[in-house]
Structure 1
């Protein structure tokens, strides 16, 4: 027997949980489905930052020096598997096309729409889910080790002034008043004051999911790849039987193509992997906020398990065995900045980020299926944008006026690709 609900949400990371919560808030009977418990994939392993900066996307290297450095595959911020980089070449060429001033301006304005509502949407969920204890309103620091790397912030700060995002440029001595245990090995820093962070992004996602269930939603273990059209809607197989709904949301992050390719969709998405590991701090040293070493592509941030070190980008197949060489490369660099001691974890965590070359997600209706909705491809800002993208897609699905213009995130932008 097939059980009926109003909507199926596939994927219980921060994006899918947020979509399910917003749909339930609007009176829909929702089944949230994943193969694992909520918040145990990509949403578990990140810096836990809700950004109010990042108006300039990751772009194609702009100098021969950088290209050579990356080609040698020894940089701490970027690592690649040779087999994967060959298959990624078309995506990298698209990235190059999206690295000019017009594309950057388009991205900045689109991401600002999402980010300006990100903190308030998170905070509303956190209040309802009693998860406020995880949140910090301390901003975060981006450190620049050279005048050259700091000079590259001009465009970021230009858009911050346009959009009203608060920041302060700081000298090392001023930074140490905020974070006394950071060593002054950098040239300058920018304190992004409106950015917030959490002490456990996985726990926050789980708390939101528990709130969804307590409010009457259903969380089910199931195989998203079993999704198929049936009787004017969609049916999926779970551990509690088959469920049918008129509408379905694909919010599976890097696993979204597994469901969408059989339905005829082949979006130009690339997976970037990242790693994290936790450390104890030496001699009572502490951090109060996340810190980015921009030149070396890693973040150190205080988490419940200790100081989390997160790495930059690894171009590798989603399901390839872990190769945490970036942990080994960044650990000694991080120790020059902050006194980390021994590793708390037995092995680094590895996860995958779903990324499009224009650095924007897809949020909206599937082009060829009126009752199939897409919410994935959030790249490096999925934890930031999960709740606001969930609200946006729920408003579109229920026929409500959307809070922001959804056009920049439409899947139709890839129809000619």
Structure 2
């Protein structure tokens, strides 16, 4: 594998893939229509979630399903047409969320998440990006004792099964840790090994700079225009023709459209999410999930970032920031939020698979084509670990974890 490799997509996943391949001595061109880290990877809570050993399951209790269907909570919002289009994949998602299936999926998922912070640490050192990273954890706050008790029991199970450390906080401990809270909450679960990032897009940019410093090339062009040839892959750009013996699809939420053009029918769908920054008010000491309200507050360079839950909508659909409006109202009851920085909120899409696991490995019917997408809520977390796994596969070397659970072949064809 000595000829040029094209990596299509410059989010966290694509940028890490390009960096990993360049570190292993390959000639790599990274391609995206926007600079690295400016699409989906820009808009997230900025948490490297080492604690996220169990992927988000589809709600299965009647109360949660009814709440989502009627739009009573902030966790989920949907556009009816997009919901209808996604129903086949959402049905599969619901089936995979059955307890026994979800437990098996979580075992595979946890094997990859276990390397999230160690692999990021390697890249952070290479990119001299330590100033962007806060290693003080992720806090989940709860308003009611009942919800807190259940969360502590779940955390104890995760710690016992996966070794992920946490601290349970009562109301007094949480009030002391977050003195700007206006409301006295029931308590919190503080996950210790997760890391916060002050500028998510900026961290991707630092990784991209490390890639360029090691001889990699970035070309700003429409990566979805790449096409197969008899000798590999070709992409016509304003800067000339790009050719690669191999190509990696790391297009995030645009991956489905691209691979469909090649004849693949994978169970993929997107969830949109919103964020907005606020200045001039209070803040939190670390990324904080208001678990019973479904939003995150994260201290970042541009201000206190407020992020929302999932919206089932087309990638290019008009903004409907109902969740953000509701989350802002809830957050203002919790602390002095300050003034919004952006006139309109940011919106982006998360690329999801029906079985909650990313797709990493060889394309079943196109030699020289590789997949690295469908990371759902955890693309930012899993970028370096996924890149390492794919690079092992591309080199034909033993993989550092079992790669079989992430192969596209699990869906047939």
TM-score, with length taken from structure 1:
0.95
Map of 1:11-410 to 2, 5 A cutoff?
11-153=9-151, 154-282=153-281, 285-410=282-407
Contact 1:34 / 1:223 at 8 angstroms: preserved in 2? Answer: yes
In the alignment, the residues of structure 2 paired with residue 238 and residue 8 of structure 1 have an alpha-carbon distance, to the nearest angstrom, of 13
Shift of 1:6: 1.9
Shift of 1:156: 4.7
Cα deviation code 1:205-251 (max 9, x no counterpart): 01111111111100001222222221331112223211211111000
Q: In angstroms, what is the RMSD of aligned CA positions?
A: 1.6
In structure 2, the CA distance between the partners of 1:232 and 1:304, relative to structure 1 (3 Å rule), is same
In the alignment, the residues of structure 2 paired with residue 103 and residue 68 of structure 1 have an alpha-carbon distance, to the nearest angstrom, of 23
Contact 1:236 / 1:243 at 8 angstroms: preserved in 2? Answer: yes
SS at match of 1:19: helix
Contact 1:276 / 1:309 at 8 angstroms: preserved in 2? Answer: yes
In the alignment, the residues of structure 1 paired with residue 71 and residue 11 of structure 2 have an alpha-carbon distance, to the nearest angstrom, of 31
SS at match of 2:278: strand
Cα deviation code 1:125-166 (max 9, x no counterpart): 111112110000110101122244335433453133221111
SS at match of 1:340: coil
Cα deviation code 1:246-287 (max 9, x no counterpart): 1110000000122211111121111100000001242xx332
**5+ long unaligned stretches in structure 1:** none
In the alignment, the residues of structure 1 paired with residue 181 and residue 124 of structure 2 have an alpha-carbon distance, to the nearest angstrom, of 30
Contact 1:95 / 1:357 at 8 angstroms: preserved in 2? Answer: yes
Contact 1:131 / 1:207 at 8 angstroms: preserved in 2? Answer: yes
In the alignment, the residues of structure 1 paired with residue 166 and residue 399 of structure 2 have an alpha-carbon distance, to the nearest angstrom, of 29
Cα deviation code 1:336-376 (max 9, x no counterpart): 22221111112100000001122110011111112110000
Contact 1:364 / 1:410 at 8 angstroms: preserved in 2? Answer: yes
